Chain A
Amino acid sequence: MNELNSDSMRSATRDYAEQIAVPVFDERPIRARAREKLAPQRGWRRTTVAIATAAVIIAAALNGPAVVAQVEHMVQAVLTIGGTQVPVTVQAVSLQQAQRDMPFTVVAPPVIPGYQQSIREIVAQSSPQASRLMVQYTGSPSVAPVTIMESSATAAHTELRIWSSKMPNAQPPQPMRPPELHGAGPEQQATLQIRANGGRQFRVRLTPQSWTAGSTRIDLLSPPGALSAAQMLAIRRGMSR
């Protein structure tokens, strides 16, 4: 059976496509629509956090550092060394301050476009070697922030639980009891629990990426969908020098 010549077909398809008069590109309506699409995600995140006394808890059992939480008004932490809980202090610092305070070489965290960065020291006075640096990036559409933890690569095994809370109308939250560890995953995994008083509870399992840069151990925790593979690779490269 005779069929159309493929070259003729290709040529005719090109003619057909190119005779379509393409209107001039106008960025404004596209940008405006894109902004509208991003807005509900952000709104949902704010609502989720502020609906009630929302507590975001990370109970992690990593070999060394462990991680994370939604941090707004109050961050609390418990460090367990050899089965004993030791008191720690959590305070917001600048990068320069952290480089002075931390007992390991602090690797400068990268700037991620579109994210706001906050740095906190988690210091155990009785065991300075177990101190951590927590860098959090907020601004992604996901519920929990992207978090980078830095610690000494030579420190003994410790377990860190971090939790934070935020009250509606910017009321300071009441201190909470530390989270229980029953939701923690196996080693090299972290479990993020998000609870709202009287509301639903859900759990996100995170697999941190861990590597060392000199004498510093770095853990990157990225909630699903918050960072692309290219972004995670760029962070890892930037913090491996």
Chain B
Amino acid sequence: MESIEELAARAAAGDGNAAADFVRQFWPDAYRIAFATLHNREAAQDTAQEACARAWSGFSRLRDTSRARVWFYRIVANESKRTAQRSARDRFSALDAATEKNFITVDVAHESGERVDLRAAIASLDESLRLTILLRYYFDLTNAEAARVLGILPVTVRWRLMVAHRRLREILLARDVSPSLLTSSRRFLSP
């Protein structure tokens, strides 16, 4: 099976089918990153499409195909940030965002248990923290890779992870969650 790097190399060489396959393969990731930033389904879909188009038209500028995934995530993260800034300016998304947060909470409310509490707590985090933990814990990027995607320093990634852990802990304690989720581990600081 063709690796991501090989696919990206073909796309960078001008193969339109490879570019289409690449964005198709990474479409779910693009949408999840956009949604984690915006918490609005329509805006996330539009943003993910725009990011995919930017990547598609920009493959010729991709120099290191071994970093194609990080390169692509960075395009999506930047596009999401632009949309968020535009939305803030236009003041139209505040209600939508609130609705989406409720939507997520309602979605998970019929389930029970600690995982649901934690998942809902993640949804209620600030977008920069939410995106950072998504990149680290869902996409399994290293701190350095996550930093490259977000355009920040690796030490800032570590700081955000620490803050995210602390906020989640506070949220869960406020909800009187089981102490089994809490531990004295600080492993999240590992690279």
Contact = CB atoms under 8 A, between A and B. Distances in A.
Contacts of B104: 19
24 contacts: A1-B184, A2-B184, A3-B166, A5-B185, A6-B188, A8-B114, A8-B118, A9-B168, A9-B188, A12-B115, A13-B138, A19-B119, A20-B31, A22-B28, A22-B31, A23-B45, A25-B24, A25-B27, A26-B49, A31-B56, A38-B57, A113-B15, A230-B9, A230-B12
A227 B115 CA distance: 48
A34 interface: yes
Interface string B72-87: 0000000000000000
B134 interface: yes
A3 B183 contact: yes
Contact of A5 (B62, B121, B182): B182
A99 to B, nearest CB: 26
B35 A20 contact: yes
Nearest to A33: B53
A146 to B, nearest CB: 11
Contact of B115 (A11, A114, A140, A229): A11
Interface string A65-87: 00000000000000000000000
Nearest to A11: B115
A22 B33 CA distance: 11
A126 B99 CA distance: 81
A17 interface: yes
Given A13-B133, A19-B104, A33-B50, A2 B183 contact: yes
Contact of B20 (A2, A27, A38, A227): A27
A34 B56 contact: yes
Interface residues of A, number: 48
A229 B63 contact: yes
Q: Looking at chain A's contact residues, is the secondary structure mostly helix, strand, loop, or mixed?
A: helix
A113 B185 CA distance: 53
**Chain A CB within 10 A, most for which of B13, B54, B64, B182:** B13
Contacts of A229: 63-64
Nearest to A36: B53
Nearest to A41: B57
B129 to A, nearest CB: 11
B49 A12 contact: no
B32 A20 contact: yes
